Structure 1
């Protein structure tokens, strides 16, 4: 289940903790000293560190501060005989994820371990989302500046082409000018794409019925679906599901996902939209909306890149649709992830808050 590094200088305590963790399916590496702990962390990765503060070769608090700085994503549970509040506060300030006093009951140790690992995972997710938002913001500013600089000379080129078009007689020169006009229009459309990415509107969230949102997304593609006489397969539970998000933006996300699936399979009957109650993080419940198809799939080495702006494997793709969808999901306090098994199924999972966040006092029960 988990890979655990256990730092404990008392062999009896270490063996008891090791047996307990192994009985719960964990793999355990035992380190008796601070030096051995550092060596283990340099050589391998662990899901969590359980450490005592009383070590023969190191000050436990100093070691805790050092390790939490060097391995910021590693959950560290302090398990010690020091049961005073001052030691607990000092340990937490030096980077401990949790503080347990000996003797520790088996359920308390394992529950604390699981909670610490989950907490660190949630913190990493929040931090990565914030870094991604900042990257999008920086790239958006760059795209906006680039588009502004290009549009003015582009307008001059189009004007000159129109003047030449009026003066030239039919022939090779006129054909060249007409080609220039088409290229200028293509560049202008790309500038619009850049600006759409660089200036997303601020979300105006409200409670939305998921089924109605899905139908609206399908209706937006009516012209593309009309030749097939059918649309994607919709699968929703009998109870109504909601999301708390900007309706226009969430519809835009689903439309982008549906268009991507249509590009892959052509036939809309091979596309499925599912909705279900999602997970709960930090007291916030989420609704999951999945768009999947049975097309050729996405190679594993390309999956990490598909939400990158301007990345595309399509001959005429701009690489902006999925990037905007991913950004809008983050802006609405949700997430968008993709999985793919080539020739079997490609799935995009959109998770959005199920309801408006409660005030902190309500969350705390006050």
Structure 2
């Protein structure tokens, strides 16, 4: 009788140990998921939080277990930004019954939040948060390509329809110019011709933004390319009160590019930097730093200014066709630049803070 009891007890202990091992195993898996997880019981008390979620909240895990939502919001280490996000998440998912919600943190990263509750959770509430920034970038790139493809179709259909009458108007104005000169109105003809030329330039940019010509590549030195771009920009920079500083790299670097196209991109970036500095004020001492450094199989060309900078909303639309904040801008310069660098198997990254300047980084493949 005693031996049977001991055997039963031993089996129970083994079963308990086995259950604990399985529990510890699955808890360890949950702890190290790349998604953040929080579990609230039916009374709204936090019973489980994994490492990733604690990292996202920037609060130690041990200080959160046992808190309800109100205590969590009053936590001394929780930032005001995150408090607002948690309240909005509560409103969207609990009050408005939305199972999924997308939010952006203070660092500009995108997160998809999902809440699960009901009969399958036996009264508990499971909140999961996944970083979807990379998927968002892919989505935005696809959206950008769709817009450029649509722009190409529009441009192909209207370019000739606009250019033909402009050419005719330009020809007739030139024929009338001697008569206007006799009347002392030659200034009118000059203005009309310059505006027609500007319209033609806009159409040219419009066409190039959707489909730039195929790159005619030659191997060139990055150092000579940057020196030439700076040389072409120096006089305008001086007139606008800007200083262009070129930092030469000790490493010789060559790239295979269409020199005309990439030079157009560099000049466009430098001009944008000058315009951003000009926005600050005429007495402001503007500086544009240009450098190039190798990064694996690529070279990173950095153009940094101390101008007006941009907010996150503007950064998100920077490469959109026709998006511009300039009074006389077409909104096509950066769109064209983006497509040119992509055609060279490169990339453009930008980082900016409102009031603190902007950094553009152009990455191009190096020639071995």
TM-score range, shorter chain: 0.5 to 0.7
Q: Secondary structure at the match of 1:301?
A: helix
Candidates 262, 268, 273, aligned match of 1:261: 273
- The C-alpha deviation readout for 1:55-91, integer Å capped at 9, x for no partner, is xx9xxxxxxxxxxxxxxxx89xxxxxxxxxxxxxxxx
- Distance of 1:186 and 1:251 partners within structure 2: 21
Q: CA deviation at 1:186?
A: 3.2
- The C-alpha deviation readout for 1:212-271, integer Å capped at 9, x for no partner, is 221122123254246589852123443334445433332222111111112222589600
Are 1:143 and 2:155 matched, yes or no?
Answer: yes
Unaligned runs of 5+ in 2: 1-21, 37-48, 55-93, 103-109, 114-119, 121-129, 279-283
Q: Secondary structure at the match of 2:30?
A: helix
- Distance of 1:165 and 1:314 partners within structure 2: 32
- Distance of 2:50 and 2:257 partners within structure 1: 40
Structure 1 residues 205, 184: closer, same or farther in 2, change over 3 A? closer
Candidates 21, 39, 43, aligned match of 2:100: 43
Candidates 183, 190, 215, aligned match of 1:170: 183
* Number of residue equivalences: 267
| Superposition map of 1:104-119 within 5 A | none
Candidates 258, 261, 274, aligned match of 2:291: 274
Q: Secondary structure at the match of 1:312?
A: coil
Q: Secondary structure at the match of 1:298?
A: coil
- Asked whether the equivalents of residues 166 and 196 of structure 2 are also in contact (C-alpha less than 8 Å), the reply is yes
Structure 1 residues 43, 217: closer, same or farther in 2, change over 3 A? same
- Asked whether the equivalents of residues 241 and 286 of structure 2 are also in contact (C-alpha less than 8 Å), the reply is no
- Distance of 1:319 and 1:328 partners within structure 2: 15
Residue 213 (structure 1) aligns with:
225
- The C-alpha deviation readout for 1:5-47, integer Å capped at 9, x for no partner, is xxxxx6443212134459994228xxxxxxxxxx999435697
Candidates 27, 30, 35, aligned match of 1:15: 27
Query: Over aligned residues, Cα RMSD in angstroms?
Result: 4.2
Q: CA deviation at 1:149?
A: 0.5
Q: CA deviation at 1:272?
A: 0.5
Q: CA deviation at 1:183?
A: 3.6
Are 1:351 and 2:363 matched, yes or no?
Answer: yes
Q: CA deviation at 1:132?
A: 3.3
Are 1:337 and 2:354 matched, yes or no?
Answer: no
Structure 1 residues 48, 18: closer, same or farther in 2, change over 3 A? farther
- The C-alpha deviation readout for 1:79-117, integer Å capped at 9, x for no partner, is xxxxxxxxxxxxxxxxxxxxxxxxxxxxxxxxxxxxxx9
| Superposition map of 1:1-366 within 5 A | 11-20=23-32, 25-27=51-53, 42-44=99-101, 121=134, 129=141, 132-167=144-179, 170=183, 180-205=192-217, 207-225=219-237, 232-265=244-277, 270-278=287-295, 285-355=297-367
Q: Secondary structure at the match of 2:206?
A: helix
Bigger Rg over Cα: 2
Unaligned runs of 5+ in 1: 1-9, 29-38, 50-56, 58-73, 76-116, 357-366
- Distance of 1:183 and 1:229 partners within structure 2: 28
TM-score (norm 1): 0.58
- Distance of 2:255 and 2:157 partners within structure 1: 35
- Distance of 1:127 and 1:303 partners within structure 2: 16
Structure 1 residues 124, 287: closer, same or farther in 2, change over 3 A? farther
